[in-house]
Each structure stands twice: as C-alpha cells, then as structure tokens.
Amino acid sequence: MGKVKDPLVDVDQALIGFGEKLRKARRQYSARVRAGIDEDELDESPGRLSELLRRDRKLDAPDAVFVDELGRSTGLERPVLDGARYLSEACAILEVEPEKLASSRRDRETAALRKLVATVGIERWGQRAGELARLLAKHTVAVSRWVSDAARERQTNPAYAKKLLWLDEQLSERALAAQARGELSPATREEQ
C-alpha cells in the first residue's frame, strides 16, 4: 500500500491483478482485505488508507512479454490456427502465393520467405514442423533447419529480429479480427 520504501515484492506487479490503474487496483485490493479483516483490526487509521487510495497513476507493466501471477500475459494474443490457415494468413501478409513457397524454386527470395514463415509459425504460433513441411511439400528436417538458421540470424541481425516480430504482430491482428468475425473457433491447441 506504499508504506515500505523497498518492498519485498514489486508493488505494480502485485496490484496489476486488481486493476490497470493504481487507484483502482489499490481500491480493489483494499476491498478484498476489508472483506477478510475488519477495518478496526487494520494496523492503521482509516484516514491513512483513504489517503493512499487517492493518488493515481498508470501501473508499470514490464517492457518485455511477461506472465503475471494470475497467468495473464502482456504478449500478443494468438488464437489457434491450423497449419493451412496459418500458412494462408502468413502468405497474405507477405503478399506471396502459398504455391510459390511449396514450389521447387530455390531462389533467395523464396527461401527467405519459407524460413520466415516457418520460424514464426513454429516459434510463436505453435505450428508443427511436420505439418508445415507437408503443406510446403518439403522434408521436416529442412523445415527444422530453417528455424535453427533463423534463430542464429535473429541473434546477430536486429533487422531480421524485427522482421520476425512484424510478421508475428500482423498475424495476431489478422487472427484476432477473424476470431471477432466468428471465422475461428475458440478451440485450444489440445483439442485440435
């Protein structure tokens, strides 16, 4: 509640489970405490508690993707997509036909697009290498190698890391819009 200068836990992370703004989160936290303990039993005067609840600010969410104590993530929301739908959406964003990626072409551009689609699909969208290999008419080992190569490139090339993130964000926006239109079932990965 703001009484300790160097608290044992991160106050914002503890309160974020009660609301997005400090005032609301403290009010909700206080209400929960009051529900379990009589206010007379609190080790403070009611005026001090009211004073703490008046100050407000936006709670600090961690910069990186973070899963809080309640299991909520600050990362992108990713609805479940089957392999064919994932490939179709990724190709639409990249403005390339899925048939081009599934072709026997060996030019650099096509190879780079295959690697990008496979990496984002496997690392961030829960796609399986075997399914993507089947859809792209490639061997599973080749798809796994693309992902390994991309992981190494991401470590040394910030522009490539941004490209992976961009595709992931675009896919998330498209998938959430499709889900809102009722085009995607709310099935979990285990049900597929």
Express each pLDDT in 146-179 by its tens digit. Answer: 999 999 999 999 999 999 999 999 999 898 888 8
* Number of other CB atoms surrounding residue 34 within 10 Å: 13
The last residue of a domain, from among 20, 48, 75 = 75
In tens, the pLDDT along 16-75 reads 777 778 888 888 887 777 776 554 454 445 555 555 556 666 665 555 555 555 555 556
> Are residue 59 and residue 99 in the same domain, yes or no?
no
Residues 47 and 102 in one domain: no
- Considering its fold, how many domains does the chain have in total? 2
**In sequence order, which residues have a C-beta less than 8 Å from that of residue 100 and are 6 or more positions away?**
110, 113
For residues 116 and 170, membership in a common domain is answered with yes
CA distance 98 to 92: 9
Residues 38 and 88 in one domain: no
pLDDT tens, position by position, 96-132: 999 999 999 999 999 999 999 999 999 889 999 999 9
pLDDT band at 188 (very low <50, low <70, confident <90, very high): very low
Nearest one of 15, 37, 36, 39 to 27, comparing CA atoms: 15
Q: Which domain holds residue 141?
A: 83-191
